[in-house]
């Protein structure tokens, strides 16, 4: 921690350190957001490929079996948590958002 010449902390020094920490937090948040978006894009592409393969076999998107759909949701929910370093967030919210994404992909 920065100290003034007489060994005491000053408000100016503390304020400067706080601003530097805020900037570091903003930078980390942006990095995590980009990583999350990248992970979700990869997962969505993987799911689209699976859905396309099922359609090529003559199945409709809605015909994906329950186990496969559940696995797709679990993978996206996991990637969401992984992208934020498994800290913070809500696993239930991750699941619900992943479920919406899978539904959207399968309905295309």
pLDDT exceeds 90 at position 22: yes
Query: Quick check: 102 and 73 in contact, CB under 8 A?
Result: yes
pLDDT value, residue 100:
92
pTM for the full predicted model:
0.52
Could you report the per-residue pLDDT of 50-60, keeping only the tens digit for each? 777 766 766 55
Nearest Cα to 87, choosing from 46, 40, 28, 41?
28
Average pLDDT over residues 59-81: 79
Question: Bigger pLDDT: 21 or 81?
Answer: 21
pLDDT band at 96 (very low <50, low <70, confident <90, very high): very high
Domain range annotation of the chain: 11-107
Q: Is the pLDDT of residue 11 over 90?
A: no
Cα separation, 32 vs 96, whole angstroms: 20
């Amino acid at each position: 921690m920065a100290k003034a010449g007489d060994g005491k902390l000053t408000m100016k020094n503390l304020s400067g350190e706080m601003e530097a920490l805020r900037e570091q937090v903003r930078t980390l948040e942006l990095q995590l957001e980009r990583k999350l978006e990248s992970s979700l894009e990869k997962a969505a592409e993987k799911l689209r490929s699976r859905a396309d393969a099922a359609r090529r076999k003559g199945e409709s998107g809605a015909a994906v079996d329950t186990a496969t759909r559940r696995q797709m949701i679990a993978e996206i929910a996991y990637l969401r948590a992984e992208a934020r370093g498994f800290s913070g967030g809500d696993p239930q919210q991750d699941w619900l958002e992943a479920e919406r994404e899978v539904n959207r992909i399968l309905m295309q």
